[in-house]
Amino acid sequence: MIAIVQVERITVQRQIIYDTLRSVDTHPTVDELYVNIHEKHPSISKATVYRNLRHLAERGAVLQLAVPNDVVRYDGCVNFHHHFVCDTCSKVFDIYIDEGFDFEDLSDVVKEKYKHAVDTSATMFFGTCADCEAIQLSKITGRGIKWPPINLKEEV
């Protein structure tokens, strides 16, 4: 038997949407990405952006992030990583953890303890980003972001 492989056509619009998403690290919403694309390519509609992002996400070419209490966001980086969501400004940051923590071990724990077979995992951290924390600290101290005024490193 001959295996029939369906070749997927990559449209100019899909390539523009993909390239634009890959060029940013802001994890945009459909609306944010549309505004960015529409500036250079006014003929591409918001429906086209939405449809193509969904298509790319279904095929694993981009990540679709369901951030709690927020709209769906997209990530052009499909390499294994996690996300940090700032509760203050709602920005989403990529987090790469590769120093000694093995997420496969965590998957083994889930398998052993709960009998669930983990195919993939995603971790989302929530809190205050460094920029928002610095702003909050400057409001509290009234001294700008140069806080603390002393060196807290231990002397050797």
pLDDT tens track for 99-123: 667 666 788 888 888 999 888 777 8
56 with 98, same domain: the answer is no
136 with 101, same domain: the answer is yes
130 with 83, same domain: the answer is yes
Distance CA 25, CA 127 (A): 19
pLDDT tens track for 22-68: 999 999 999 999 999 999 999 999 999 999 999 999 999 999 999 88
CATH number at residue 29: 1.10.10.10
9 with 28, same domain: the answer is yes
Query: Which neighbouring-strand residues pair with 92?
Result: 85
Distance CA 116, CA 80 (A): 21
Q: Helix 30-40 to helix 12-22 angle, to the nearest 10 degrees?
A: 110
Last residue of a domain, one of 42, 77, 112: 77
Q: What's the pTM?
A: 0.75
Distance CA 110, CA 106 (A): 6
User: What domain range includes position 54?
Assistant: 1-77
Given a contact cutoff of 8 angstroms between Cβ atoms, the answer to whether 71 and 40 are in contact is: no
CA distances 104 to 34, 109, 110, Å, are: 37, 9, 10
Provide the 10 A C-beta neighbour count for residue 49.
26
83 with 58, same domain: the answer is no
Is residue 144 predicted with pLDDT exceeding 60? no
Last residue of a domain, one of 49, 77, 105: 77
Q: Which residues contact 85 (CB under 8 A, 6 or more apart)?
A: 67, 70, 91, 92, 93, 124, 125, 126
Distance CA 58, CA 147 (A): 46
Given a contact cutoff of 8 angstroms between Cβ atoms, the answer to whether 17 and 49 are in contact is: yes
23 with 87, same domain: the answer is no
Last residue of a domain, one of 60, 77, 94: 77
Q: Give the number of domains in the chain.
A: 2
72 with 125, same domain: the answer is no
155 with 84, same domain: the answer is yes
62 with 13, same domain: the answer is yes
